[in-house]
Structure formats: C-alpha cells, structure tokens
Structure 1
C-alpha cells in the first residue's frame, strides 16, 4: 500500500467515524425527546386518574346517601335530603 493510499484510507476512516458520531448524537437526542414525551404523557395520565378517582368517590358517596334515603322508609325530611344532594357541586373531568 502506498503512503497516499494509507492517507486516503485514514481520511475515509476519520470521515466515517465523524458521521457515525453525528448520527449517534442525533439518535441520543431523539431518545431523550421520546423519554421526555413519555414522562409528560405519564403525568397527564396520572392527573386524569386522580380526577376520575375523585369523581368516583363523589358518586359513591351520593349512592350511599340515596341508599340510606331509600331504606329509611318513613323519613319526614326526604325532600330536604334530596335537595341537599342537588346542592353538591359536581366534579368535572376534563377530556384532553
């Protein structure tokens, strides 16, 4: 192999190493972006789950009250109890 061929081979190998390094860095940045995107989605999912849990708890409480009202038979203040249920503010679940 002549010295010119050795130099050309070294230049080619250096260029390949540089291109591979650039591509590896770009891929690393892409993975970091995807990871951040998944973290944001996980946060949003957890927030939605908390909202659903709060709404579920409120509905369970309302059902308990309704069951109590229905089983108490001769309750004189039935209208007052039903009006009290209407006064409870509903929990809104936002859809995104």
Structure 2
C-alpha cells in the first residue's frame, strides 16, 4: 500500500512525459512525410545515393577495425599492421 502512496504524486510527471513524447513522435512522423513528399529521403535521389555510399564505406571501415581488434596476434604484429594501414 505504501508504494501506491508514492506513485500518486508522481503520476502527473509520468503523464506529462508521456504527452511530450507522443507529441514529439507525431512531429517526427509529419517531418518524415514532408521529406518523402519532397523526394529528399528516397534512395533514388542524389542525397540518398550519397548516404548509401557513405554507409557502405563506414561499414567496411568498421569491419576492418573489428578484424584488427579481435585478431589474436601479438602487440608487435598489431602495431605493424596499423602502420601498414596508415601508409596505404
């Protein structure tokens, strides 16, 4: 019963936060619709293609870094590999 007495004064804050969050989500949906209507967020647009190329490049970089980090070689070999990657 004590937990209920604690929740009652906090209820307005929870409801206010929920109201703010739903309002924000509604605005985000409206913005996404607006961008889709303008054609700026489609894969066919120049921005969409550029973003896809950038994403592919970044994924390749992350894969290389993961390979370096998870490789079980010694510290000297790791340092030499990093030096080779910097030079290329």
TM-score normalised by the chain length of structure 2: 0.40
Query: Rg: which structure is higher?
Result: 1
